[in-house]
């Protein structure tokens, strides 16, 4: 990892944020500490971090509200690792629905948190080997949409750019690279996050649901992403390469 990687730690527990910050600094990361959402926004005005560690239980706006606001603003591409007060699937599901990239339940070992951070940063910066793009960046068209693979922009029929998180972009790329193919949940987790990643099955369902919302795709009568019971998902729309960009 590069020494310049910057992590913003948002936790109202002074002991936790200072302990985590000190440990990550020893591992070569630069850390900024914030005790609330207000301090987080102030820190974001000064510099955009490579990753945000965000506690759910915060004074004022909690971590879930802040996560949703981050995903709808100019910092939407910054990966987020959420800290949950307990190993509760409800917390994890809601966090992922809001756009978190990963979650770590309290209490946690700082070495595990570091491993999670490294994993998220790796998959944020590069696609898995079986998704590497060897050709020039492309503009892909499907239905009423286009995906600019150079800028990583989803563009609607009127030319408006629709915000996407990094995880949503990776999932859409998987579907566009494998149209009309049935992909199991395990395959989708592997292709979007890397094989061997510890994610629970519902995480990919949540990510598919988020992507459907971006595409205005009705899950009951889907135009793009169809669910095959006990099998997985299939991207049913035709995909066309409109142009190759130099």
**In the prediction, which pLDDT does 137 show?**
53
- Let me know if residue 226 belongs to a domain: yes
Q: How far is CA 204 from CA 13, 48, 68, 85, 189, in A?
A: 31, 27, 18, 22, 7
Q: Would you give the distance in Å from CA 158 to the centre of its chain?
A: 26
Q: Residue 100: enclosing H or E segment and its boundaries?
A: none
Q: Which of 97, 125, 153 is the last residue of a domain?
A: 125
- Let me know if residue 213 belongs to a domain: yes
Q: Which of 65, 93, 125 is the last residue of a domain?
A: 125
Check which CATH number belongs to the domain holding 49 and give it. Answer: 3.40.50.2300
Within this chain, do residues 86 and 196 fall inside the same structural domain, yes or no?
A: no
Within this chain, do residues 149 and 58 fall inside the same structural domain, yes or no?
A: no
Check which CATH number belongs to the domain holding 233 and give it. Answer: 1.10.10.10
- Let me know if residue 178 belongs to a domain: yes
**Mind listing the pLDDT tens digit for each residue in 12-58?**
999 999 999 999 999 999 999 999 999 999 999 999 999 999 999 89
> 225-228 and 80-84: which strand pairing?
unpaired
Q: Residue 241: enclosing H or E segment and its boundaries?
A: strand 240-244
Question: Are the C-beta atoms of residues 92 and 84 closer than 8 Å to each other?
Answer: yes
Within this chain, do residues 142 and 36 fall inside the same structural domain, yes or no?
A: no
Distance CA 120, CA 81 (A): 8
**Mind listing the pLDDT tens digit for each residue in 111-132?**
999 988 988 887 666 544 444 4
Within this chain, do residues 118 and 135 fall inside the same structural domain, yes or no?
A: no
φ/ψ region of 93 (left if φ > 0, alpha if ψ in -120 to 50, else beta) reads alpha
**In the prediction, which pLDDT does 199 show?**
52
Distance CA 106, CA 229 (A): 34
Q: How far is CA 228 from CA 2, 60, 181, 234, 235, in A?
A: 42, 42, 11, 7, 11
Within this chain, do residues 187 and 215 fall inside the same structural domain, yes or no?
A: yes
- Let me know if residue 82 belongs to a domain: yes
Distance CA 76, CA 70 (A): 5
Question: Are the C-beta atoms of residues 53 and 20 closer than 8 Å to each other?
Answer: yes
- Let me know if residue 1 belongs to a domain: no
Token output for 201:
């099955």
**In the prediction, which pLDDT does 166 show?**
76
Residue among 57, 56, 91 nearest 67 (CA): 56
Within this chain, do residues 175 and 225 fall inside the same structural domain, yes or no?
A: yes
Within this chain, do residues 93 and 189 fall inside the same structural domain, yes or no?
A: no
Distance CA 67, CA 99 (A): 7
Within this chain, do residues 115 and 183 fall inside the same structural domain, yes or no?
A: no
**In the prediction, which pLDDT does 144 show?**
93
Within this chain, do residues 197 and 149 fall inside the same structural domain, yes or no?
A: yes
Within this chain, do residues 68 and 176 fall inside the same structural domain, yes or no?
A: no
Q: Which of 103, 125, 147 is the last residue of a domain?
A: 125
**In the prediction, which pLDDT does 1 show?**
44
Domain holding 179, by residue range, is 130-244
Kindly report the pTM of this predicted structure: 0.60
Low pLDDT (below 70) residues in the chain: 1-4, 86-93, 123-137, 193-201, 243-246
Within this chain, do residues 142 and 119 fall inside the same structural domain, yes or no?
A: no
Structural domains of the chain, count = 2
Residues 6+ apart with CB under 8 A from 142: 176, 179, 224, 237, 238, 239, 240
Within this chain, do residues 13 and 30 fall inside the same structural domain, yes or no?
A: yes
- Let me know if residue 162 belongs to a domain: yes
φ/ψ region of 57 (left if φ > 0, alpha if ψ in -120 to 50, else beta) reads beta
């Amino acid at each position: 990892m590069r020494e310049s990687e910057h992590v913003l730690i948002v936790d109202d527990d002074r002991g936790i944020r200072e302990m985590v910050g000190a440990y990550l600094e020893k591992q070569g990361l630069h850390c900024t500490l914030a005790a609330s959402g207000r301090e987080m926004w102030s820190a974001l005005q000064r510099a955009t971090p490579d990753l945000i560690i965000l506690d759910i239980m915060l004074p004022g706006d909690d971590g879930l509200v802040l996560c949703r606001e981050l995903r709808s603003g100019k910092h939407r591409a910054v990966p987020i690792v959420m800290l949950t007060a307990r190993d509760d699937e409800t917390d994890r599901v809601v966090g992922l629905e809001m756009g978190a990239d990963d979650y770590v339940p309290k209490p946690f070992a700082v070495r595990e948190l570091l491993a999670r951070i490294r994993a998220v940063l790796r998959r944020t910066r590069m696609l898995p080997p079986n998704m590497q793009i060897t050709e020039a960046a492309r503009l892909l068209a499907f239905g009423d949409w286009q995906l600019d693979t150079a800028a990583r922009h989803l563009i609607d029929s009127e030319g408006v750019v629709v915000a996407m998180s990094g995880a949503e972009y990776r999932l859409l790329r998987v579907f566009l690279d494998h149209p009309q193919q049935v992909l199991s949940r395990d395959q989708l987790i592997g292709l979007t996050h890397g094989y061997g990643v510890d994610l629970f099955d519902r995480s990919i369902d949540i990510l598919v649901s988020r992507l459907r919302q971006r595409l205005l795709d009705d899950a009951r009568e889907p135009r793009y992403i169809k669910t095959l019971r006990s099998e997985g998902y299939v991207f049913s729309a035709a995909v066309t390469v409109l142009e190759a960009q130099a």
